[in-house]
Structure 1
Amino acid sequence: MSETLVINGGSPYKTKPFPQWPISGERELELITEVVKSGNWWRMTGTMVDEFEEKFAKMHDTEYCLAVTNGTHAIELSLSVLDIGRGDEVIVPALTFISTGSAVIYCNATPVLVDVDPETFCMSPEAFEKAITPRTKAVIPVHMAGHACDMDRICEIARKHNIKVIEDAAHGHGGEWKNKRIGSMGDIAIFSFQNGKLMTCGEGGCIVTNSKEFYDTAYLMHGVGRPKNDRTYQHLVMGSNYRMSEFHAAILLAQLERIEHLNEVREKHALFLDNLLEDVEGITPQGRKEGSTLNPHYMYMFYYDSLYFNGMSRQQFVDALIAEGIPSFISFPVLSDTKFFKEQKFGRRIEGYDYSQEADLSNARKIASDVIWLPHYTLEGDTEDLKDIAGAINKIKNAGR
């Protein structure tokens, strides 16, 4: 007789908790205390933001880093730096968090959605090239769940058509494509430090770039148009307040000391979990291209086929997994399938683009309908945790027989 599921009155498969997230310790308390006692809580008078920017840029093999309020603002600011606005088109993957598309709209430009690779879930270079028009000014490849996009091909296509590349690396802290750090291959890259990200200060983000011109412009814009050390209220360009506080930077400096080690742990454990699930029919983990030399695994993603689970729907399967002690979520939707896009609730920022006539998004739609993901901290414990994930999946599968 199969073991009874929790949702049917049984006991949970996993009782030992996964590692806590966010991770914090004495280092965070030490640096936060230093900021409090200094009385310099603002980046313009403190040192923590500057120090974090220098260290984060170095980690990603870039010359410059600008810390900002969050990852969404980082995309908006990057687009503004590149002078992208009304009448311009920006190509984005159809499968991504809403901010990748909404930030484009916020800048009065039109996001053009393209399909993704069915294995890696990253933007298809072929779909990108096919979608280019005379209005295309930028492309935003998203390193989905930490797996790097094919940046060689994407950058080659972009250069050929004089298109700027903004890497959306919200999931990719410390990741690599052919031993090059994510964030170092495009014109600009953005990162997020929101609460669930691989390193976090609750809310935060940054831009990295190798262009002094882009950095200088971004710095002006993020500080309401004021240059460094301004004491006379100069406002040289149109900007807004995207500045990060010293408190956020203090937390990030502590988080930065752990990120490389945790990336190695997740890499190792994701491969271990892949092996555990290899023979489980109906479960197919996110694939991996040879060029992905370091995947930090912001999410552990896999296709779910209900036919092998006695017809249990994806949502029912996720609910059962959670009940068994395994935190899990369904995939992002295709952007144009959200109410926001369907009803074009764009606040009159853009008009006239018909998303019902978009290109083939069949891969993105299959991922959106079939994929499940586990948060990264499920990979940060020990092999017992990984065996529990596989065991819970098998328990649900066997219960339906």
Structure 2
Amino acid sequence: MEKLAIDGGTPTRTTPFASWPIAGELELELLKEVLESGKWGGAAGAAKAGYEPKLPALERKFAELQDAAYAVSVVNGTVAITVALQAAGLKPGDEVIVPPYTFIATASAALAFGIIPVFADIEADTLLIDPEKIEERITPRTKGIIAVHLAGAPANMTRLQEIADKHGLALIEDAAQAVGATWEGRGVGSIGDIGTFSLQSSKNLNAGEGGILTTNNRDYWENAWSICNVGRIPDGGWYQHERFGQNYRMTEFQAAIALAQMTRLEEQMGRRERHAALLNELLDGVKGIRLLRQDPRITRHAYHLYMFKLDPIVTDKNEFIRRANAEGVPLASGYIPLNRNVSVIETTRMWTGEDRIYECPVCESMCEKEAVWLSQNVLLSDEQAVREVADALHKVSRSFGGS
């Protein structure tokens, strides 16, 4: 067997993967327009004649991209979730059901407003929230569900909407990783009550920082807009504060970057999709690696991450990652279970006075033993890079007795 790089052999890949973020002359041009306009923030102040404000343009184009009627820009994706819950009518003390396999913001954004996250386990073959685990978590205090479109794969929105409708719950889509993704031909963020997106620098569409909410419900849009604009109301006076709100606004500079980035989005999505399909083909049937199931109703996967699982013959997930990393493949371990996260448990106790522990054995097994991922910039690299990733993973799998 070929000697592993970690044992002194030759690494499979020695060339860097595609850099991220990608920027060019258009970003510079739009940023210069903002700089010279005199209108740097989005809420007030007159711009020079002929200047088109960037924030309204971004909100309009983003809503169109995701098949939504309305969009509201915010400072980041975490705040977007908090605002979405408030806009949909949830209040401190209410409960919202979330998956435990997600970035901590899905839970901490709720806790920031005193809304209590309740964890329902994930599906072993998709790593997305298991709809059939949700109803057993519903109590009289449950007021919402957050569907996380993990890695760019939409959750089962058809079943989640059925459950939400049956129990009168708000359905929030955490689409931080899923810009451009679709479920049965509809853009995520336009299917539930409100969708939330992140424009943080690692995301497939980024502005360094920032976030956007989308909805088809005008009342929710007005609520969200008001919350983000210190309680003002659309078309109201500058000092007409009719709701409790905060200043959660993005700047024109961030909107300028996001608008420029949107011009590259379709080409980049296509490249990720092609290379993910190639990687699936090259890894299919490899002993030691198990591909995730993709629901056929996912009509477009955004591939913010390329995720797969390790077969039981791989007895040490961390060692597999170490060997892959030595081969030049930036394989990562992924999340830890939020249902076991100390800060989430302690903050929940602060709000409820209770120690709440939710059993999520599938998620815990995935985190400890099975789930791994590659970041989106790997898929943005050329075909040779993808083939070398597959070669490296084959090589590492063989070192555990795979084929």
Q: Same fold (TM over 0.5)?
A: yes
**Partner residue in 1 for 2:258:** 252
Question: 2:317 aligned with 1:318, yes or no?
Answer: no
1:335 to 313, 335, 338: 338
Distance 1:333 1:266 in 2: 26
Q: Secondary structure at the match of 2:213?
A: strand
**Partner residue in 2 for 1:91:** 97
**2:15 is matched by which residue type in structure 1?**
K
Retained in 2: the 8 A contact 1:18–1:378? yes
Instruction: Map 1:103-114 to 2 at 5 A.
Output: 103-114=109-120
- Offset of residue 123 of structure 1: 1.2
**Partner residue in 1 for 2:71:** 65
Question: 2:180 aligned with 1:174, yes or no?
Answer: yes
CA offsets 1:82-130 (integer angstroms, 9 cap, x no match):
2322331101012111111111111112111001111111111111122
Q: Does 54-63 or 375-384 show the bigger shift?
A: 375-384
Question: 2:311 aligned with 1:305, yes or no?
Answer: yes
Q: Residues 259, 351 of structure 1: CA spacing in aligned structure 2 closer, same or farther, 3 A cutoff?
A: farther
CA offsets 1:119-177 (integer angstroms, 9 cap, x no match):
11111111112222221111001011111111111101111111010000011101011
2:350 to 348, 351, 362: 348
**Partner residue in 2 for 1:11:** 10
CA offsets 1:23-48 (integer angstroms, 9 cap, x no match):
11111111111111112111124610
Q: Secondary structure at the match of 2:171?
A: strand
Q: Secondary structure at the match of 2:364?
A: helix
Instruction: Map 1:257-296 to 2 at 5 A.
Output: 257-296=263-302
- Offset of residue 230 of structure 1: 6.1
Retained in 1: the 8 A contact 2:78–2:105? yes
Q: Does 227-236 or 39-48 show the bigger shift?
A: 227-236
Q: Residues 206, 394 of structure 1: CA spacing in aligned structure 2 closer, same or farther, 3 A cutoff?
A: same
CA offsets 1:316-370 (integer angstroms, 9 cap, x no match):
222232232211211211112222134x145833332521xx25x2221222121
Percent identity of paired positions between Structure 1 and Structure 2: 37
Q: Residues 224, 381 of structure 1: CA spacing in aligned structure 2 closer, same or farther, 3 A cutoff?
A: same
Instruction: Map 1:174-253 to 2 at 5 A.
Output: 174-228=180-234, 232-253=238-259
Q: Residues 4, 92 of structure 1: CA spacing in aligned structure 2 closer, same or farther, 3 A cutoff?
A: closer
Retained in 1: the 8 A contact 2:232–2:238? no
Instruction: Map 1:4-153 to 2 at 5 A.
Output: 4-5=4-5, 7-44=6-43, 45=45, 47-153=53-159
TM-score normalised to the size of structure 1?
A: 0.93
How many residue pairs end up in the alignment?
393
TM-score normalised to the size of structure 2?
A: 0.93
Q: Secondary structure at the match of 2:195?
A: strand
Retained in 2: the 8 A contact 1:120–1:144? no
Please tell me the root mean square deviation across aligned C-alpha atoms, in Å.
1.8
Distance 2:349 2:138 in 1: 25
Distance 2:238 2:298 in 1: 49
**2:293 is matched by which residue type in structure 1?**
G
**Partner residue in 1 for 2:388:** 388
Q: Secondary structure at the match of 2:352?
A: coil
Distance 2:361 2:178 in 1: 25
CA offsets 1:352-394 (integer angstroms, 9 cap, x no match):
2521xx25x2221222121110001111122211111011112
**Partner residue in 1 for 2:376:** 376
Retained in 2: the 8 A contact 1:282–1:306? yes
Distance 2:208 2:312 in 1: 36
- Offset of residue 306 of structure 1: 6.0
Retained in 1: the 8 A contact 2:288–2:400? no
Q: Secondary structure at the match of 2:276?
A: helix
